[in-house]
Amino acid sequence: MRYSKLGAILLLFAHAGWTGGVIRLKTRTIEIADSSAPVPTVRPRPGVSQHYLILFGSYPGPDVVAELQSRRAQVLAYVPENGLMVSAVKLNLRGLDVVWVGPMDPSDKISPLVSKQPMGSYLVMWHPDTDAVNDAELAQNLGFTVIPNSHLLVGQSLVSGAYSALPSLARLDQVAYILPAAAELQNGDAIMGCGGATTAIGPAPQYVEANSGWKRDANGKVAVGYYFESLTPVIPESAVRSEIARAFAVWTQYANITVAPATQPGLAGTIDVLFARYAHGDAYPFNGPGGIIAHTFYPPPGNREPLAGDMHLNADESWSVGGKVDLFSVALHEAGHALGLGHSDDPASVMYPYYRLQTGLTADDIAGIQALYGAPAGSAPGGSSSGNAGSSGTGAGNAGNSGTPPAGSGAGATGPGAGKTTDAVPPTVTIVSPGSSMVSTMAATITISGTASDNVGVSSVGWTTSTGGSGTAAGTTSWSASVPLLVGTNTITVRAYDAAGKSSWRAVTVVRN
């Protein structure tokens, strides 16, 4: 097993050795192997509250949470599937079914995708029991500039500073996670955030991988229902039903799972959808218009039935179809949580922790849902891209690599002909200009160009950036695009699609000085 760099392992319980277990962080997997070796004990700093990951031998339900609270430990987050993040001055775990406990390594607090953005702004997530004013001072003392942004969720900061200083920031016990900041956050746009998938014992944090998803039945199938418990009068009932149904359909288009209307609420394996105001029977009350938009509960074992998978939307929001609070875009994100996905670190993905107007899934989202359920039955096999995924830990292409994402993946979710599988050969794409995979410029835009080919024909060429931009290139076999740049690092990914929806990609990293 691997011990923490922050101060080894604190164990205050009476086990004689380790039992089996695992904690899946986005940076690595902490595996707890069976051992007869004695448990090491290191005491915390006297009088100072510290943060610890605790892995239990089984799901730590409300009774475990209550017991920890009675021992003056504050439970901050649920770590799928059998873990908790807690803070305490003196952590007493005697008699509890604990198999591992320790602080996070600083390296576990830095998103793998940050290495693709070595300059620019970063989104810092602090542990929820910290003080916002003190957090800002801590970041400033390390040389970071805290950028005011009224649209950030509570407990988050937008900072700019040297990439080389991020490990020092991550060494702060108060810091939970650091990830790339979306372009909308950097620009100060009015963007609304999602607090994350919720459970009966706390939210799931950004630094962990996804829930394991809904279980397969005896025939190896995954079938989930959904039922509308209540609707919003803001938009027509037919529009509410169709937009949310469309959101579920987008996910099932790319994964081996079916989601269909149910006959009644509260059934096992049913996602109950309801619009509610303020306190509505769970531990997460809404707070009126302009506040929390929605929350969704993970599937089992993160939640037990009948709450598992349920999607709650704030009835006081000004819901619309295609407007500022777009129902489809929010439902698409929340449906990802209902199916077991956590938040992605990729600013371009649907599952990034801030909502934006969406038309479909990105390659990162598709990699996440297929990691849980596999590709749709009968679909053509697609190659895997290299790189780091935000929500699931599976591959999503990044700078300097090339690959073949799942059919139909890419910006906007649906390439031309998505879903057709008669053409098994993906296209190829080449970036001719710039001639290097890493360039720098002072210009606000860069023109990139290249070629693409396919055994049948190239249908379109699109591009996305690591800062959240996207567009369609002019031309196909010979293409070009003018791409806007933010100050700092911009990874531009170009994807060519054929008529069957298959695609391949190339990427270039541009540093705007």
Q: Strand, helix or coil at 39?
A: coil
> Residue-wise pLDDT tens for the chain (513 aa)?
232 322 333 333 323 233 446 788 999 887 775 443 333 343 556 668 899 999 998 888 889 999 999 999 999 998 887 889 999 998 999 999 898 898 999 999 999 999 876 667 899 999 999 998 999 999 999 999 999 988 899 999 999 998 999 999 999 999 999 999 998 888 888 889 998 888 877 788 999 987 789 998 888 889 999 999 999 999 999 999 999 999 999 999 999 999 999 999 989 999 999 999 999 988 889 988 888 899 999 998 778 888 899 999 999 999 999 888 999 999 999 999 999 999 999 999 999 999 988 888 999 999 999 999 998 876 654 433 333 333 333 333 333 333 333 333 333 333 333 333 456 677 888 899 998 777 889 898 999 999 999 888 888 888 877 666 778 899 999 999 999 988 777 778 888 888 876 777 787 888 887
CATH 2.60.40.10 applies to domain 398-512: yes
- What are the E-state strand segments in 80-205? 83-88, 98-102, 121-126, 145-146, 156-160, 175-180
Alpha carbon distance, N-terminus to C-terminus of the chain: 43
Which one, of 420, 456, 215, 189, lies nearest residue 324 by Cα?
189
Architecture label for domain 223-363: 3-Layer(aba) Sandwich (3.40)
d(Cα 191, Cα 158) in Å, to the nearest integer?
Answer: 13
The per-residue DSSP string of 357-371 comes to --SS--HHHHHHHHH
Q: Is the pTM of this model over 0.75?
A: no
217: buried, middle or exposed (CB in 10 Å: 19+, 13-18, 0-12)? exposed
Give the model confidence (pLDDT) of 332-359 as tens digits.
999 999 999 999 999 999 999 999 888 8
Tens of pLDDT, residues 46-59: 668 899 999 998 88
| 475 burial type by CB count under 10 A (0-12 exposed, 13-18 middle, 19+ buried) | middle
Query: What secondary structure, in 3-state letters, does 47-82 show?
Result: CCCEEEEEEECCCCCHHHHHHHHHCCCEEEEEECCC
The structure tokens listed for 310 are 């349920």
Domain ranges of the chain: 21-103, 108-181, 223-363, 398-512
To 10 degrees, the CA torsion angle through 395, 400, 404, 407?
Answer: 70
CATH 3.30.70.80 at 108-181, yes or no: yes
